[in-house]
A and B are shown apart, each in its own frame.
Chain A
Amino acid sequence: MSRHLHLKALGQVAGSCVMHAAFYPGWLTNSWGNGDIRPFTLAITTARQTAIDRLMAEAEMLGAHGVVNCRVEVRYPEWGSGLSEFTAFGTAVAFEGQPAPTRPFMGGMSAEDTLALFRAGYIPLTLSFSSTAYYVMTTWQANYSETSWTNQEVPDFSRAVYEARDFVVGGLRAQAREVAADGVLGAQWHMSVDEIDVERPAMGGWGGGYGSGYGMGYGTMQSFRDHIVHLTVIGTAVGRLDGKHPVPAIRPMVNLADHPPDIDPGSGESGETLANTEAAPVEP
């Protein structure tokens, strides 16, 4: 299908950025509460964006029209603590016999999917993402729920995760708007939670029984196990192309192969019905 639209692969492009992003609980000593840890978030966001920008620079040097199969991998190198390595990979492609645009397109989808998008009147614009390192303070109530014998939700934690997610979804939308996108496709969540042991003044005077508080009431320090939620959402921002582009007609097909290669046997009630999106477009 790539050949049909004269899409030619130019070569693999990549971009890396190693960032030292650290967090010291001491930063929060005077402002305990839930929230985005700004310096940390800024560091990892900048690093990811830098990796993507460097990949883009490579693609531009190749005279590419775009980058397909683009993805960002995160690793934590062993040669230093608190280091994160962000590397963006992709394949630079060009439409044969056409001049290179000022800024190539970029998307996480394969070349076939990219062409299907083009035919339906959409263009992948860029990888859009948003991250947060969200500090979640363990309240006394949460501490109590954790040690209870009965079933219950821990509302403080649920709310914190909600806030963190709202934060990144808001960021993703802002990023997509910046490139005037119509929408974001293939958004993926990545979430992890770190524990962090801290000491802070015991609030409310009830704290004595949990952790290893020195005493009761204000002013005394008490140990808490707080959490940091690392949350990233990443997808491909797509925009609309000018002109009329009918969505390709889709014909149901029955695959007569013994083992249909593209079907997960556990995922559908109709294993033999395949929808083929590569059928010819309807005549307008």
Chain B
Amino acid sequence: MTPDTPSGAGDLPQHALERLNRMRQSEHRLWTSDLTVNEFLLVREAGFEPLGLVVGSSIYHIGYQSQMFRKNEELTVLTQAMYHARELAMSRMEEEADQLGADGVIGVRLDVNRYEWGPGLAEFMAVGTAVRSLGESHRPAHGKPFTSDLSGQDFWTLLKAGYKPVGLTMGNCVYHVAHQTLAQSMRAMGQNVEMANFTQALYDSRELAMERMQTEAAEMGAEGIVAVRIQEKSHGWGSHVIEYFSIGTGVVQGRADHVVPEPQMVLPLTD
């Protein structure tokens, strides 16, 4: 989205590079992960091993944009800030995984935290577990490790269904929802009416966010997106500014002759 999106290992601090190199070279490879026991066993069963926790973060100063009081509009400065900062965090996490020689990252969480850094500052953090295939390479066509916010369970299920994750796709839109005019509020008083301009604002921003996510998936070469989540949040901007954020995992089909195992039916007797 912006030209200064980092690429290559040059963006990682020296400390991080040294640590990752040590992790890759040492005789006895110690892995770290935030997987639960069940996730860990499933990942092993799917033919992968965890390599290490990978993290990327960016502390970002979000700029300022004036808003028209009575206008529904996207706040492009804020949209770009939120996207760019997430992208920075994600690409740093991907870079860490790449340095470890991972095939991909699973269980990625993208968090936005407003710690006490100061006004207008937020920390964007991406964290996940880098995994490596014990068999054939699972790196997608673009050569970088795949990223995915699927849990160990979902990852296992996806692989068994014959699909492979390509990467996380996301889209966002920060939107200013217009205030009502006095005449509008007078008309609505004591009436059941739809507030068309509010509905319109939600539609606009949600559609923009989803469309951007889909464009990203198409650019990545994904055939579809699974586990999409759409969040509406106001990151401390006041009541009339909202962000729609949609995120999911882009997937492609693996081999055409893949057979999906027949699931067994279970009727649990618990309530």
Binding stretch for chain B, among A4-12, A77-85, A147-155: A147-155
Number of A-B contacts (CB under 8 A): 195
Interface string of B240-266 (1 = CB under 8 A from A): 000000000000000000000111111
A/B interface sample: 22 pairs, CB < 8 A: A146-B61, A146-B121, A151-B63, A153-B59, A154-B121, A157-B59, A157-B121, A157-B123, A166-B13, A184-B31, A193-B115, A235-B32, A249-B45, A250-B45, A253-B264, A254-B264, A254-B265, A256-B268, A261-B268, A268-B226, A274-B153, A274-B266
Which of B55, B61, B113, B151 has a CB less than 8 Å from the CB of A165? B55
If A161-B57, A184-B33, A189-B127 touch, does A257 touch B265 (CB 8 Å cutoff)? Answer: no
List the 7 closest A-B pairs by CB distance, nearest first.
Answer: A193-B115, A113-B37, A157-B59, A183-B31, A151-B81, A269-B226, A252-B263
Q: Is the CB of A153 within 8 A of B58?
A: yes
Which of A120, A161, A186, A275 has a CB less than 8 Å from the CB of B34? A186
If A182-B30, A268-B154 touch, does A116 touch B15 (CB 8 Å cutoff)? Answer: no
**Which residues of A are found within 8 Å of B15, using beta-carbon distances?**
162-163, 166
* Interface bracket on B: 35 or more
B146 to chain A: closest CB distance in Å?
16
Q: Is the CB of B13 within 8 A of A159?
A: yes
Which of A161, A172, A186, A253 has a CB less than 8 Å from the CB of B123? A161
Which of B60, B151, B265 has a CB less than 8 Å from the CB of A256? B265
B230 to chain A: closest CB distance in Å?
10
Q: A163-B15, A183-B30 are in contact. List 14 more A-B contacts (CB 8 A).
A: A153-B58, A153-B59, A154-B117, A158-B88, A161-B57, A162-B12, A172-B32, A186-B34, A187-B53, A235-B32, A252-B264, A255-B268, A268-B227, A276-B266
Alpha-carbon distance between A113 and B30 when the two chains are bound, in angstroms:
21
Q: Is the CB of A113 within 8 A of B38?
A: yes
Q: Is the CB of B37 within 8 A of A185?
A: yes
* Residues from 22 to 38 in B contacting A, C-beta threshold 8 Å: 23, 28, 30-38
If A153-B85, A247-B45 touch, does A185 touch B40 (CB 8 Å cutoff)? Answer: yes
If A117-B37, A186-B36 touch, does A149 touch B30 (CB 8 Å cutoff)? Answer: no
Q: Is the CB of A193 within 8 A of B61?
A: no
B22 to chain A: closest CB distance in Å?
9
A132 to chain B: closest CB distance in Å?
13
**Which residues of B are found within 8 Å of A176, using beta-carbon distances?**
30, 32
A225 within 8 A of B: yes
**Which residues of B are found within 8 Å of A193, using beta-carbon distances?**
115-117
Between A154, A158, A169, A186, the greatest number of chain B beta carbons within 10 A of the residue's beta carbon is seen for A158
B77 within 8 A of A: yes
B46 to chain A: closest CB distance in Å?
9
A268 to chain B: closest CB distance in Å?
5
Per DSSP, are chain A's interface residues mostly helix, strand or loop, or mixed? mixed
B→A interface (CB under 8 Å): 12-13, 15-16, 19, 23, 28, 30-38, 40-42, 44-45, 50, 53, 55, 57-64, 77, 80-81, 84-85, 88, 113, 115-121, 123, 127, 150-151, 153-154, 156-157, 160-161, 226-227, 229, 261-268, 270
A145 within 8 A of B: yes
Interface string of A247-275 (1 = CB under 8 A from B): 11111111111000100001111100111
Between B12, B31, B227, the greatest number of chain A beta carbons within 10 A of the residue's beta carbon is seen for B31
Alpha-carbon distance between A208 and B15 when the two chains are bound, in angstroms:
33
If A185-B33, A277-B38, A277-B42 touch, does A256 touch B267 (CB 8 Å cutoff)? Answer: yes
Q: Is the CB of A250 within 8 A of B42?
A: yes
Q: Is the CB of B157 within 8 A of A270?
A: yes
Q: Is the CB of A195 within 8 A of B63?
A: no
Residue in chain B with minimal CB distance to A120: B41
If A191-B115, A252-B261, A275-B153 touch, does A151 touch B80 (CB 8 Å cutoff)? Answer: yes
**Which residues of B are found within 8 Å of A116, using beta-carbon distances?**
37-38, 41
If A161-B57, A269-B226 touch, does A109 touch B37 (CB 8 Å cutoff)? Answer: yes
**Which residues of A are found within 8 Å of B35, using beta-carbon distances?**
185-186
* Residues from 174 to 199 in A contacting B, C-beta threshold 8 Å: 176-177, 181-189, 191-195
Residue in chain A with minimal CB distance to B55: A165
